[in-house]
Amino acid sequence: MSFRGQPLPDEYYFLCMLHNIGATSSDKSLTLEEISRRIAMEPGKVMEKLERLIEEDYVDVNDCGGIKRYQVTVKGIMKVMSMYS
């Protein structure tokens, strides 16, 4: 995938995948294992990419009874949408 003729960095491609699988609100947030299974990526690699996106405020993590769930933030959704326009 490219953005304006340039190759898309891995973390932004991953952000697009999170958006496309629907992890865009707290009620649609997904666990690490769910994300890993849906995009066919090892949990360690998923966590690495999630951490980078959390640092940039593109992904948020919520603790639901000791289980961490991840979702794309409004800022992340805007980033994805800007890549499609």
Domains of the chain: 8-84 (1.10.10.10)
Which residues of the chain register pLDDT less than 70?
Answer: 1-9, 85
pLDDT for 9 equals: 67
**71, two tokens:** 């979702």
pLDDT for 2 equals: 47
Using a cut of 0.85, tell me whether the model's pTM lies above it: yes
CB 62 within 8 A of CB 80: no
pLDDT for 83 equals: 76
User: Cα(36)–Cα(56) distance, rounded to whole angstroms?
Assistant: 21
CB 72 within 8 A of CB 18: yes
User: Cα(48)–Cα(29) distance, rounded to whole angstroms?
Assistant: 18
pLDDT digits 0-9 by tens, 24-48: 999 999 999 999 999 999 999 999 9
